[in-house]
Amino acid sequence: MTVEHAGRERPGVLDGTDVALLAAADLVAVIEAGPAGLDAVRNELPRAGRVPLDDVRLCAPVRRFRRDVLCTGWNYWDHFEESKGKRDGQDVDRPEHPTFFTKGPDVVIGPYDDIAYDPAISQKWDYEAEVALVIGKTGRSIPVADALDHVWGYTLANDVSQRDLQRRHGGQWLKGKSIDDTMPLGPWIVTADELGDPQDVRLQCLLNGEVMQDASTRQMAYDVATLISELSFGMTLRPGDLLLTGTPAGIGNAREPQVFLREGDEVITRSDKLGELRNVLVRRELA
């Protein structure tokens, strides 16, 4: 995890109700060090300083990016189907391979931070609960059988999207998903060895207390190993890269009537194995 304590951001490890503060510059430095980095953390824990979890502010666990946030679209078939006829004339056939896009890194906020909201930017703000993964090992054209060996850990994201911006800019997703300070990430990263099977994670999204999305990663169109293999085909993935794995059915744009986010709404993204994001939309001038 990454926390703010005594006026500075520090990487740490959740230990019960305490946070063990690490000496590393940030969590990306630990990730880049590979297995040796995790071994060093384990050796450091017995002598690390500890502070109560309630005394720190949780930040996005990954704060330093070498590239855009990598994302997957249409990776739950029920989500793909629910949006048919609701893409403002930009419908496509069911894809035969994973669909990828990127988001600018300035979207990332902490797990309990406010989501910046400006109706001058968009009138169609939507939620998308997602499981995200962090790459821990460099690779290119990674075989499916080896793909999970390249995952350092897993976390949660809410891919807040502006649907009218998506449609306005040719149906591509970069612009409608890259508004500053709109993507909560965290609350921590569960290492791959601790999580176990990434296809056995329950994912939910609640809007003002009402469950809007509720699915298992077993429902993914393309599993995590396939996503990594296809994304890395001819393209190098590096430690610290963040990949969102897609959202299930239940988005606001596909509902009848449609449900879009407004100022003051509370959105919770939660998982049985990864924790919880809890965020409120707060008015901020972005235009």
Average pLDDT, the chain: 96
Q: Residue 87's pLDDT is what?
A: 75
CA–CA distance, 196 with 275 (Å, rounded to integer): 15
Stretch 107-115: mean pLDDT? 98
**At residue 84, does pLDDT exceed 90?**
no
Q: What is the pLDDT of residue 182?
A: 98
Residue 209 structure tokens: 């207390």
Q: Which of 209, 226, 206, 221 is nearest to 269 (CA)?
A: 206
DSSP state of 89: T
Closest CA to 161 of 185, 179, 177, 178: 177
The ranges assigned to domains in the chain are: 2-58, 62-283
Lowest mean pLDDT: which of 82-96, 163-177, 195-209?
82-96
Alpha-helical runs (H) found in the chain: 27-32, 34-44, 77-82, 144-147, 163-168, 192-195, 224-231
Answer whether residue 3 shows pLDDT above 90.
Answer: yes
How many whole angstroms separate alpha carbon 264 and alpha carbon 90? 31
Looking at residue 247, its amino acid is T
Residue 101, judged by CB atoms within 10 A of its CB (0-12, 13-18, 19+), counts as middle
Residue 283, CA atoms < 13 Å, CB-side half-sphere = 4
So what's the architecture of 62-283 in CATH? Alpha-Beta Complex (3.90)
pTM: 0.97
Q: What is the mean pLDDT of residues 106-119?
A: 98
pLDDT of residue 67: 97
pLDDT grade for 89, boundaries at 50, 70 and 90: low
CA distances from 183 to 46, 111, 148, 158, 200 (A): 34, 9, 25, 6, 24
Buried b (16+ CB within 10 A) or exposed e, 253-287: bbeeeebbbeeebebbbbbebbbebbbebeeeeee
- Round to whole Å and give the CA distance between 154 and 242: 9
With a CB cutoff of 8 Å and minimum separation 6, the contacts of 210 are none
Position 169 scores a pLDDT of 86
* pLDDT average, residue stretch 155-184: 94
**Per-residue pLDDT band at 134 (split at 50, 70, 90):** very high
Percent of the chain having pLDDT more than 70? Answer: 100
What is the C-alpha end-to-end distance of the chain, expressed in Å?
A: 32
- Nearest-angstrom CA–CA distance, 156 and 245: 10
Q: Tell me: the pLDDT tens digits for 180-220?
A: 999 999 999 999 999 999 999 999 999 999 999 999 999 99
Percent of the chain topping pLDDT 90 = 93
Answer with the residue of higher pLDDT: 91 or 138.
138
The tokens describing 104, both together, are: 């600018």
Read off the pLDDT of residues 236-273 as tens digits, 9 standing for 90 and up.
999 999 999 999 999 999 999 999 999 999 999 999 99
